[in-house]
Amino acid sequence: MVTLTLRPDQPFNLDHTLSCGQVFRWEQRNGWWYGVVGERVLKVRQERDTLTFHGAGRKFFRDYFQLDADLPKIHNSIDRDPVIHAAIEAYRGLRIVWQPPWECTLSYLCATYSNIPIIRKRIELLSHQFGDEVWFEGVRFYTFPSPEQLSSHCCDQLNGCKLGYRAPYLHETACRLGREPGWEEKVASLPYEEARHYLRTLKGIGPKAADCILLFAFQKYEAFPVDVWIRRIVERHYPQYATYHKGDVNERIRQFGMDFFGPYAGYAQEYLFCAREKLSLD
C-alpha cells in the first residue's frame, strides 16, 4: 500500500477523473476504484487530500493521473466564458488520464456510434476472451489483449465480443500495428496534425476517434474531439462556431474549439462532455 498527499494548490478528484467516460476499465467497488492498466491490477481511493493505492508505485500513479500537470494553470487557460466556467466549477479536479496508446486506440475503435455502457462491455469481453489472467486479492482480472493476441484470431472470433461491423476494423488494426512496433514512438514524436493524419490511415479511425486517442494517449492537449454531445453543446452555447467555414459541421466545430480554448482545448472538451447532462441542449 502506498499513500500520496495531494498539494492543496493542485486539485484532483478521483471520482470525476475515472467516471467521466475517458477510461472504460475502472470500476467502483466498496469504496475503492479497481482497474487494469497494462499488466497490472490497480486499486485506488481518495479521502480529501490523500490518495491511497495498491498495485504500483508513486511514480506510476503520478504519471497515470497526471498529478504533476498544473491544473489551475490549465483551468485559467480554458476559462473563456460562463459555460465552460460552470463546467470547471462542477468538475474541478478532473484530470486527463495518460492512457496506454494501444488499449486507447482499440477502445475508441469500439466506441464509434455507441454508448458508454456498451463500450465498457465490449472492452471487458475482449479482455476476458483474449487477454491474460491476472489475480489480485483473490479476484480474477484480465489484461487488455496485445496486438498479437487479437490478430492471431479471425474476425468471426472477435465478433463474439459484440463488436458488430467494427470487428474487421479491430482485426486489421491489430494486424497492422502488430507489424509496426514503432508506431507509438512515431505518433508521439509527430506534431498534432501529422499524428492525426497517421492515425486516420487506420480503418475505423475517423476525426473523432483520432482526436480522442491523441488527447488521451499522446498528451496532445490541443485536440478537441467532436462527438454528438460536443456538437449539441457547441451549437447551443457557442453559436460563434458558425464563423468557421472550412469543412463539414464537425470539422468547423473542431476548428472553433481549438481556436477558442487554445492549447488545452482537449481539457475544455472533457469538462464540457462531463457537464453534458447539466447543460440545456434544446
Residues 32 and 137: their CA atoms lie apart, in Å, by 13
CB of 208 to DNA, least distance (A): 3
93 binds DNA (CB under 7 A): no
Query: By C-beta, is 24 or 61 nearer to DNA?
Result: 24
65 binds DNA (CB under 7 A): no
Tell me which of 38, 58, 154, 165 binds DNA, using CB under 7 A.
165
Query: By C-beta, is 41 or 199 nearer to DNA?
Result: 199
Count residues contacting DNA (CB under 7 A)? Answer: 42
**Torsion angle, alpha carbons of 266, 113, 248, 217, to 10:** 30
Query: By C-beta, is 56 or 167 nearer to DNA?
Result: 167
Hey, which residues between 219 and 238 contact DNA (CB under 7 A)? 225, 227-230
Hey, which residues between 114 and 153 contact DNA (CB under 7 A)? 114-119, 121
154 binds DNA (CB under 7 A): no
Q: How far is CA 202 from the centre of its chain?
A: 18
| One character per residue 182-221, x = contact with DNA (rule: CB under 7 A) | ------------------x-xxxxxxxxx-x---------
Structural contact between residues 123 and 91, judged by C-beta atoms closer than 8 angstroms: no
Paired with 32 in beta bridges are 29
Query: By C-beta, is 56 or 187 nearer to DNA?
Result: 187
Query: By C-beta, is 39 or 248 nearer to DNA?
Result: 248
Question: Cell numbers of 40, please?
Answer: 497490472
Which region, judged by CB under 7 A, interacts with DNA, from 17-25, 50-58, 78-86, 186-194? 17-25
Query: By C-beta, is 141 or 273 nearer to DNA?
Result: 273
111 binds DNA (CB under 7 A): yes
Tell me which of 159, 192, 244, 259 binds DNA, using CB under 7 A.
159
CB of 121 to DNA, least distance (A): 7
90 binds DNA (CB under 7 A): no
* Residue ranges that bind DNA, judged by CB under 7 A: 20-22, 111-119, 121, 159, 162-165, 200, 202-210, 212, 225, 227-230, 246-249, 251, 269-270, 273
